[in-house]
Amino acid sequence: MSNSRAASLTLPWRFPSVRIEAQALIPIVILTVLMLTAIFADVIAPYNPEIGTLGDRFQPPAWLTGGSTAHLLGTDHLGRDVLSRLIFGARVSMVVGFMAVIFAGVVGTVLGVLSGYLGGWVDQLIMRITDTWLALPGLTFAIFLAAIVGPSMWNIVIILALVFWTRYARVIRGEVLSLRERDFVRLAIVAGCSKRTIMRRHILPNVLNSAIVIATLMLGIVIVTEASLSFLGVGVPPPKPAWGLMLADGKKGMMAGYWWLTVLPGTCIALLVLSSNLLGDWLRVKLDPQLRQL
Amino acid sequence: MKRFVLKRIGYAVISLFLLSATIFFFVRVTGDPTTLLVEPGASRDDIEALRAQLGLDRSLLIQYVSFLSSAVRGDFGHSFYYRTPVLELYLSRLPNSLFLAVVAMTFSLVIGIPSGILAAVRVNGFWDGAGKMFTLLGLSMPQFWVGLLMILFFSVYLGWLPSSGSGTPWHVLMPAFALGWYFAAAHMRLTRSSMLEVLGSEYVKLARLKGLPEALVIAKHAFKNALIPVLTLAGINLVTMVNVAVVVETVFAWPGVGRLLYEGIAFRDFPIVQANVLLGGTMIVLVSLVVDLLYAVIDPRIRYDR
Amino acid sequence: MTGGPLLELDGLSTHYVGARGTRITRAVEDVSLTLNAGETLGIVGESGSGKTTLALSILRLLPPGARIVSGALRFEGEDLLAKSPREMQHIRGKRIAMILQDPMASLNPLFTVGDQVAEPIRVHEHASRRSAWAQARNLLGSVHIAAPERRVGEYPHQLSGGMRQRIVGAIAISCGPRLLIADEPTTSLDVTIQAQYLHLLSEIQRERGLALIFITHNLGIVARMCDTVAVMYAGRIVESGPVRRIFDAPAHPYTRALLESIPRFGEADVRLTAIDGQPPDPAALPAGCAFQPRCVKAIDRCRVERPPRFVVGAKHGAACWLCG
């Protein structure tokens, strides 16, 4: 049994031997900063993001005329501090994003492995469902679900996971199909391992690489979807700060020239998505060149 | 060939069934769909009447069948707000969305394909590097943010372009750009990798060995083969564009089906939302079918094999 | 055409330069060959020995990162290394042609067979479409494809592997080249078809007076088809000479080992001798003779100094200290 283990592909926990180049360093730094911001939001943010003084509304950022260091990045239409809202918004985005990606990943990978390895009616069933799911436009489907169950942070996470698990299932299933024919799996079958054991000990670790790459790439899409939902008003409900929501509010002030209310939250979203895409691309090349077609 | 066509159409029909079943399932799964399907502020009697009309006491299967049969007949319910059949509403807005999508698609292909080819032919050169940067930015920046930025710059700051509504060609420029930007990057990336793969293939090698001039090798042998995956993606993306345009249409107040969806949410008009998902999904299934059939025309392997 | 040899390689070396100049792969090193009109030369070696790179070097169609770094290359007396890309393009397909290993991959799936055969004729001889297609039909007939008028309009995937390889052959001879390079042309064919194809190649060669370079790892084919043979190892030619002589009395230990590893009828009880070890990484070659780590007859000198080519017989030479 241990021989077949040795024949499996690079396991993710052998990472330390991988050189980290500049291309990966920047996104990793950005992502770490964002994560830390999210975790320590209560400590870092200067103000309460949900309460504002109406008298202070629409103050510009500190470096423009009319701005002050009291509100480094200005205030919004309710007088709330933009910087604090951005910081807490990071928490919302990161939590929702990561949770959704992880849930979708777990469901998608498990179903992909089952579908690919067991074949037969299980495969057909799961594949039909996946195809149908994929035919549903992601954002529209998410909006539809949000309209049904009502918005709340956890609902959004579940909805996003529901919408995006199929992306994993498809690819993982493909991998499993080719893994199934590999010698070390055949050896395990000949040695008498049960299907469950084979799937758990031999197939699963080998698809983890792909799952991780897909996860990093999915993070970007999930974040944008969440921001879109918030922008449209069906995301995380106010007054909790979400970057998408800030953009929606900001739009109202745009024509009057209060540009920072849209540019700043948007930049944060773009930064997060950019970093996760960069990281995903780098991981994809490092872990498995076969995935280049993604 | 005929077998292939019939088989594909069969798949499409099955997909449509599954699609409607899924939507139906989700609506009914919450237990009491009357809260969704009834106008906000309706009286008890109205609710009871709706319940009877929907036949919620009948078995799930019968409900589904009746749901399906109304859908097939074009009855998707009535909008609370507009007081018209939803299908009518959807179809009246669809041309606007299609127009926007076509313009955005044209833009994305005109930018995406040539730059992808250039990047592949001059791989690792300057154009390739610039292309990679463009791809990254294009795929990372959310479309509605690009839209907002454009409004800020071109409408508020420069005052050149109108920021909302439709009507003149000027109105479509910004929304089409915002919508198409992401897809231009996606198409460029796919064109590049497809072209690279084709350029490394044995038949291109043989074409060079035959002594064909490089221009002919690229234009004839590489180009057609490389384009197949790109066009497939583009065809499907056309419908995807219509569907993801929700946010762009909202930002620019463009009167398409995306904006309709937004109104559905804003006014708590659930029939609109439900119809949007159903019809959106249907369009995707139909377009996939068309693209597959077109594929058979371009690629002779499929034509004769199946 | 001068009276000299058709093709001459003199100390030709092709290197791949990777990782910003720090990693040099000596794919082909110091190769010297001569080929006369109408002759057949076999190039034998394991995968990675540099055979294909050598063929591509002759046609100057190397992948990016590879360069001919030294040596001379002459075809019909002309210096090929001095030719511009445009001039080389006129030579390829018209004067020197090549057949690749996998016929399914060599043919473009989106174009008809006729189109692909007529193409070089249209480009090199500026023939009209009608005339080129007519010639294509005739060519299909001369490679023994039945019903050529029908086949001409078909697509590659509609034909069998043997037929496809014949079409690749038809493409190669379409413009009347003097030299044909065949890179493992039978390796992806069924065994039953292989013999037919070799027969076809011999016939074409006879009819058109072609010189043939046959690249293969199969010594049986060499014995059957070739006049002379060159054995390659790690980018160098370790032994070369007339086929008969080399098969009867191989001078280099590698050649000997190759011959001994072929199972023969009637020797059921003799153990197959395999060569221990692996071919070396061309980017990190050992000092001295490249074969020495696997050679049973290695002496101390082999580890330190690379042997030059020693003459062992008429036109027969081997690069081994034991022959010196």
Which of B212 and B162 is assigned the larger pLDDT? Answer: B212
**In the complex, which subunits touch A with 3 or more CB pairs below 8 angstroms?**
B
Chain-wide mean pLDDT for chain A? Answer: 79
Alpha-carbon distances, residue C213 vs A41, A165, C9, C201 (angstroms): 73, 55, 13, 11
CB–CB contact C106 B211 (8 Å): no
Is C230 within the bounds of a domain? yes
CB–CB contact A148 B145 (8 Å): no
Taking the model in full, what pTM does it have?
A: 0.75
Structure confidence at residue B104 as a pLDDT band (50, 70, 90): very high
Question: Which pLDDT belongs to residue A53?
Answer: 76
Amino acid code (one letter) for B161: L
Is C302 within the bounds of a domain? yes
DSSP category for residue C279: P
pLDDT cut 90: percent of chain A above it: 3
Is C80 within the bounds of a domain? yes
Q: How many domains does chain C have?
A: 1
Lowest mean pLDDT among A114-128, C217-231, C255-269: C255-269
H-helix or E-strand containing C13?
Answer: strand C7-18
Structure confidence at residue A16 as a pLDDT band (50, 70, 90): very low
Question: Which pLDDT belongs to residue C96?
Answer: 92
Q: At what angle do helices B257-266 and B86-121 cross, to 10 degrees?
A: 130
* Domain A78-293 part of CATH 3.60.15.10: no
Amino acid code (one letter) for A186: R
H-helix or E-strand containing C231?
Answer: strand C228-233
Is C13 within the bounds of a domain? yes
Question: Which pLDDT belongs to residue A20?
Answer: 62
Q: What is the pLDDT of residues C175-210, one digit of tens each?
A: 989 999 999 988 888 888 888 899 999 999 999 889
> Is the Cβ of C168 closer than 8 Å to some Cβ of chain B?
yes
Task: Find the closest chain B residue to A149 by CA distance.
Answer: B30
Structure confidence at residue C213 as a pLDDT band (50, 70, 90): very high
Which of B8 and A105 is assigned the larger pLDDT? Answer: A105
Check: CB of residue B211 under 8 Å from CB of residue C124. Answer: yes
pLDDT at B302 over 80: no
> Is the Cβ of B181 closer than 8 Å to some Cβ of chain A?
no
Question: Which pLDDT belongs to residue B304?
Answer: 53
CB–CB contact A144 B246 (8 Å): no
Question: Which pLDDT belongs to residue A14?
Answer: 43
The 3 state secondary structure assigned to A117-140 is HHCHHHHHHHHHHHHHHHHCCHHH
Question: Which pLDDT belongs to residue B41?
Answer: 67
Which of B78 and B250 is assigned the larger pLDDT? Answer: B250
Structure confidence at residue B42 as a pLDDT band (50, 70, 90): low
**ipTM of the complex in this document:** 0.79
CA distance B281 to B272: 14
Looking at residue C189, which CATH number applies to its domain? Answer: 3.40.50.300
Q: What is the pLDDT of residues C26-41, one digit of tens each?
A: 888 889 999 999 899 9
Lowest mean pLDDT among A77-86, B57-66, B120-129, B183-192: B57-66
Question: Which pLDDT belongs to residue B106?
Answer: 93
Check: CB of residue C111 under 8 Å from CB of residue C158. Answer: no
Average pLDDT over residues B206-230: 88
Provide the domain limits for residue C198: 7-95+177-323
Average pLDDT over residues B258-271: 82
Window 195-234 of B: residues touching C by CB (8 A cutoff) are: 201-203, 205-214, 216, 221, 224-225
Is C259 within the bounds of a domain? yes
